[in-house]
Amino acid sequence: MLQDQRVTRRRMLRQSAVAGAAFAVGQFIPGKVFADQDRPGANERVHVAILGCARRGENYTFGGCMPQRVQVVATCDVHLGRAQRMANHVGCQVVCQDYRQILDRKDVEGVMVATPDHWHALPSIHACQAGKHVYVEKPMTLTIVEGRRMVEAARKFNRVVQCGSQQRSTEPNRAGCKFIREGGLGKIRQILTANFPSPCIVNLPGQPVPAELDWDRWCGPAPLLPYHASLLSPDGWMASNAFSSGEAGNWGGHAFSQVQWALGADDTGPVEVLVDGPPLDPPVYTEPESVRRGADICRRPRIALRYASGAVLELGGGDISGAIFIGEKGKIEIRRGSVHSNPKDLIDNVQLADGPSYTMAHINNWVDCWTTGARPVEDVEAGHRIATISHLVNIGRRLGRNLRWDPVAERFVGDDEANRLLDRPRRKGYELPETV
C-alpha cells in the first residue's frame, strides 16, 4: 500500500508538471481570447510602465526577462538618467521622475514597481485607484499596515496585483509546495530557513546630490537622510532600516513565500513569535563598509514562528531561497527551481538551472490573469502575508521577547508597544491613505 501511494504521488507530480508546462514557459492561455473592456485578449500586446529603472527594473528589460507581448511605453525613476537609459533601450518616448504623471495615461495598462522597499505601497495603491494592474517587487511592503491597504486597493478596484517572487512560477517549487500542502509529507513539525538578518541604522555623511537625481523624492515617505552615493546601491539602502526590512524581507521574501504556499497559509500566518535572546542593538554605519559586520550582528536574537497547526518555522539551518520541511513521512527541501526529498523516492527530485525564464513566467502569469480574471500565483494577499513574516521577525528582534500574533485581526495580542510598530510615520505629502 505504501509503495502504491508513492507511485500515485510521483504520477501526480508528473501530471502537474505537464499541466503547468505552458505556464512555466510563458505560453498564452487558450480559450477566452477576446478582450472585454479593460481585459486584453490572450494574444494581444499589453502596455506597461516601469517605475524604478535600476536592479530589478533593469532585470526585466536589459536582463531579457520581459515577455514579448509586454511593451514598455513609459519609464519612471527619480534618477532621470536611469529612466532615460531604459527608455532608450526599450524604445519608448515617455520618461519622467514622478510616477503620478503616468497614472492618467490611457496607453498604460499596468505598472511594474521595482523601487526600493519604502516606495512600494504608495505607487501600487495609486495605480490600482487609476485602474492599472500592478506587478510589485518583493518584499511587498515596509510595514504591515501598508500591506493591508494594498490588498484593499486591489480588491476595491478589481486590479490584478502580483508580488514579484518569481520562484512561485517554477514547476519544481509549485509541485513541491502542492505536494506538502495536500498532505504528502504528513503533519509538518518543523521548517528551517536561513537566519536572515534584520536591517541596520545607516547614517552616512552627506555628499553633493547628482543633478539628475531628485533625492527628496527618492527618500519619499521615509526620513530625509543626507544623500550618499552608496545608498543608491542595494547593499546600501537594503541595509538601512529607514528604507528596508533587510534580508529578512529580501531573501526572506523568497523563503517565506515557499513556506506560506506549502502550508496553505496565503491568507493567514503564524500565531506566535518566539525570541531567543535579548533585544537587537543594531549597529550604526557612519562610513561605507561591508554589510557583513551588520549582518552578523542583526541575525540575533534567533527567531522562530509557530503556526496554529503546531508547525514551527525556525530561522537557521536552511537555504536562503527556500525551506526544509520536516514532517511525519520524511523531509523535503524546496529551493529556487528545485525540490529534493529524504527518502528520495517520496517525490520526483528536480533541479533546474536558474535563468530569466523564472521572471518571464511570473510576469506572464500576471498578464494572463488580466485576461482570465484569476488571481495570480502570488496575489497581493499572499505577498502581504509573506512580507508580514519578515516584519514579525524584525519586531521580535527589536523588542527581544515572545509575542502572540492574531493573523485575523493583524495585531499583537495584549502588547501595545508591539502594535505601535505595525506602521511607521511618513513625511508630509507621502501619507498612506486611511481608506482606499
Sign of the dihedral defined by the CA atoms of residues 30, 173, 244, 239, in that order: negative
Tell me, what's the pLDDT at 198? 98
Give the predicted TM-score (pTM) of the model.
Answer: 0.90
Does any domain span residue 206? yes
Domain holding 182: CATH number? 3.30.360.10
Q: Confirm if 256 and 245 have CB atoms less than 8 A apart.
A: no
pLDDT tens readout for residues 200-217:
999 999 999 999 999 999
Does any domain span residue 244? yes
Segments forming the whole domain that contains residue 281: 171-352+380-419
Does any domain span residue 10? no
Does any domain span residue 110? no
In whole angstroms, give the CA distance from residue 154 to residue 157.
Answer: 6
Question: In this structure, what C-alpha cell is assigned to residue 133?
Answer: 494592474
In whole angstroms, give the CA distance from residue 177 to residue 263.
Answer: 8
- Pairing label, strands 312-315, 188-193: parallel
39: pLDDT strictly greater than 70: no
33: pLDDT strictly greater than 60: no
Does any domain span residue 390? yes
Does any domain span residue 273? yes
In 3D space, the residue among 171, 132, 144 whose CA is nearest the CA of residue 40 turns out to be 132
pLDDT tens readout for residues 278-303:
999 999 999 999 889 999 999 999 99
Return the SS3 of 372: helix
Q: Where are the alpha helices (DSSP H) in 116-197?
A: 121-129, 144-156, 171-181
Q: Where are the alpha helices (DSSP H) in 157-249?
A: 171-181, 215-219, 234-237
Question: In this structure, what C-alpha cell is assigned to residue 366?
Answer: 500576471
pLDDT tens readout for residues 298-342:
999 999 999 999 999 999 999 999 999 999 999 999 999 999 999
- CB proximity list for 344: less than 8 A, separation 6 or greater: none
Does any domain span residue 189? yes
Number of domains in the chain: 1
Q: Where are the alpha helices (DSSP H) in 299-379?
A: 357-372
Q: What is the CA radius of gyration of the chain?
A: 21
| Rounded alpha-carbon distances, angstroms, from residue 11 to 7, 15, 172, 303, 335 | 6, 6, 14, 37, 21
Peptide bond into 139 cis (omega under 30): yes
Does any domain span residue 308? yes
18: pLDDT strictly greater than 50: no
